[in-house]
Amino acid sequence: MKRTPFRAKPPKAKFTEKTQALFFDYHPVTTCWVCDWFHADCLHHIFRRVSNSPFNAAPMSNFTCHINRDEKDGQHLTHLTTENQQAYLKHTIHYLSEMGYEPTEADKAFIEKYADEENRALFLEAFRF
């Protein structure tokens, strides 16, 4: 009988290299969406790993602002409050529009599903649809 070798599950909705580059290749240092210091070195998934759209990405310092916050509240909960999710998304919309990013159909569908009314309006205005 043929057996399939054990393989670890690939991480869901991992950000592409192109998305990593959008946040890290254009600047010597990237601002952290949590504290505004220039020390971001990882991309947090704003609405968990539901999508790898760049609009689901929030740069943070992994050690100081991403993981340490997890330790304080147990399970990543600080980042996952509706208020913080929409605040991070707002920052990402501003960031991507300022750098001249052009949203794909998948990005539009992501915004439609996850952005609140204010951020949907901001998205439409920022990218001039």
Interface positions with Zn ion (CB under 5 A): 32, 34-35, 44, 61, 65
> In whole angstroms, how close is the CB of 119 to Zn ion at the nearest point?
19
Using the minimum distance from each CB to Zn ion, give the nearer residue, 32 or 96: 32
Handedness of CA 24, 15, 72, 62 (dihedral sign): negative
Determine the residue with CB nearest Zn ion: 32
Using the minimum distance from each CB to Zn ion, give the nearer residue, 34 or 115: 34
> In whole angstroms, how close is the CB of 120 to Zn ion at the nearest point?
23
Using the minimum distance from each CB to Zn ion, give the nearer residue, 14 or 125: 14
> In whole angstroms, how close is the CB of 31 to Zn ion at the nearest point?
8
10 Å CB burial of residue 17 (0-12, 13-18, 19+) is exposed
Distance, in Å, from the CA atom of 79 to the CA atom of 66, rounded to the nearest integer, reads 8
82-92 burial code (b ≥16 CB/10 A, e <16): eebbbbbbbbb
